[in-house]
Amino acid sequence: MIQCSILPSHEAIHPEQLPGKTVIVIDTLRATTVMVTALANGARSIRCVMEPEEALRLRDDQPGLLLGGERHALKIPGFDLSNSPLEYTTETVFGRDLVMTTSNGTRTLLRTAGASEVLIGCLLNARAVMTRALESGRDILLLNAGTMGLFSLDDFITAGAMLHEARGAVSLTDLALAARLLYESCPEIHPALTESVHYGRLRELGLQDDLNYALRPNRLDVVPRYREGLVTWEKTPAHEKENPYA
């Protein structure tokens, strides 16, 4: 049986944990939610980089690139977009290549070398990304980005939502079981996160609309894949014909 495990933040990664596994990177508030949304709305690709200076250099070489991301949850000076998924509309990103750098999510992706496959997950695509991971037949590692290297409750609940979709089809480590049980005990996600650090920070910054958007399970069937520095999505013919999320 496929085994599912969780790492509580990118600081917990050890290279020997990744080979042979399908890794789902989770940063629900907000990097992976942005990536799923941008690709759903027609972006061609998202390149992840560590620092803003690298993103700015890339745009100097390729002026058509869109730069998005944050530091301390705020838009980076000189960037086109912040880390709000609501900015990544069809009108803004359709047909465009993006470069992103964030405090947690992109850093986590850049540390996944050695995994057999790396998928991008959030609450919006929890069912779809778990379905895709199960199809691989490999053990699954749910890699929570966390917040500044620390455990983040929003990512943990998201992992629980994904594991809920796999109930009966996988074996779980105790931490993975705790995530699933927590999600199943929280029919309303916002109240469960009210006292959590990262949720509170975004609310203090006036980003309640981002929270309302991101904390909705199973709204999109987009399953991005990360490979060689790029996040892309292999669209079905139906998705090629029209963008159902515009």
Q: Tell whether 205 is covered by a domain.
A: yes
Instruction: Please give the tally of structural domains in the chain.
Output: 1
Question: Which long-range contacts does 178-184 make (Cβ < 8 Å, 24+ apart)?
Answer: 179/6, 179/142, 182/156, 182/157, 183/157, 184/160
Give the pLDDT score at 235.
Answer: 76
Q: Tell whether 39 is covered by a domain.
A: yes
Question: What CATH number is attached to the domain comprising 183?
Answer: 3.90.1560.10
Give the pLDDT score at 234.
Answer: 87
| Apex 113 CA angle, 107 and 118, nearest 5 | 80
Predicted TM-score (pTM) of this structure: 0.95
Give the pLDDT score at 242.
Answer: 57
Give the pLDDT score at 119.
Answer: 98
Residues spanned by the domain of 26: 2-229
Give the pLDDT score at 246.
Answer: 46
Residues of the chain predicted below pLDDT 50: 241, 244-246
**H-state helical runs in the chain:** 31-40, 52-61, 90-93, 105-109, 126-135, 153-165, 174-184, 189-193, 197-204, 208-214, 237-241
Give the pLDDT score at 178.
Answer: 98
